[in-house]
Amino acid sequence: MNGIHDMGGMQDMGPVRPEKNEPVFHAPWEGRIFALGMAIDGPWTYAEWRYQQELIPPSDYLRMSYYERRVTSLPQLLVKAGLVTPAEVESGRPAAASTVTRRVLKAHEVAPMLAAGWPSSRNIPATARFHAGQRVRARNINPVGHTRLPRYARGKLGTIMRDHGVFVFPHTDGHELGEMPQHVYSVRFDARELWGSAASQSDSVYVDLWDDHLEPA
């Protein structure tokens, strides 16, 4: 989706303002919504989780903080999954007939869970359509669903620098269409190819793209 989240290349967002001695969470609720998202055993995929945040309307997305977007998207995911109802979210209390059961993460399981991680590589054979050193063009596609091919790279010429191996494809995995595992490559785009002749000749942007994002140049 050509949404507001796809920000690479925009210029009117003002200066970057680092905060000195920044706390991890700026208020307790930020930590709680972060932890809720991590702890809940939701049936959604990583791609669906991301896509739910991309669905926040642009004017809301721009005024919301990072964690406020989660306060919006997590209940939406929970409702879609049938784990809560909108009425329950509004009231903060379970309906009388509520009987959902999921595996509940315990405190002593947190460290092992974080250490195990959530790898999205897949150990299955998949033919690599490209190889290191090959010139490629990022496809000019404008899917209305979830995609990790940023707008600024579409239609641009790049070079495959490295094959990272086989990974879940978010475009399908974000829409209950299966993992469609395929190779992911580090693709180098010259800054001038992306931004024109005013860009520095030596600079470049490396973008990680899947087989289905690329075509031979």
Partner 1 sequence: MAATRAVFPARTGGAVTTRRDLMTGAVAVAGAALAPQPANAQEHDQDHSHQALPSDLALRVKALESLLVAKGLVDPAALDALVDAYEHKIGPRNGARVVARAWVDAAYRQRLLANANAAIAELGYGGGEGDHMVVVANTPKVHNLVVCTLCSCYPWPVLGLPPVWYKSFAYRSRAVIDPRGVLREFGLELAADVEVRVWDSTAELRYLVLPERPPGTDHLAESELAALITRDAMIGVARVAARGEGGRA
Residues between 64 and 103 that touch partner 1 (CB under 8 A): 64-68, 71, 74-76, 78-80, 83-84, 86, 88-89, 91-94, 98, 100-102
Residue from 123, 127, 197, 202 binding partner 1 (CB under 8 A)? 202
Rg (C-alpha) for the chain, rounded Å, is 20
* Beta carbon of residue 102, minimum distance to partner 1 (angstroms, whole number): 6
Q: Which of residues 141-200 bind partner 1 (CB under 8 A)?
A: 143-145, 148-150, 152, 164, 167, 175, 184, 186, 191, 194-195, 199-200
Burial 170-193 (b: 16+ CB within 10 A, else e): bbbbbeeeebbbbbbbbbebbeeb
CA dihedral 118, 174, 51, 204 (to 10 degrees): 70
Q: Considering only residues 123-142, where is the footprint of partner 1 by CB under 8 A? A: none
| 122 close to 179: Cβ distance less than 8 angstroms | yes
Single residue of 82, 96, 97, 116 touching partner 1 by CB under 8 A: 116
Regarding 215 and contact with partner 1 (CB under 8 A), the answer is no
Give yes or no for residue 44 binding partner 1 (CB under 8 A).
no
| Cα(212)–Cα(172) distance, integer angstroms | 11
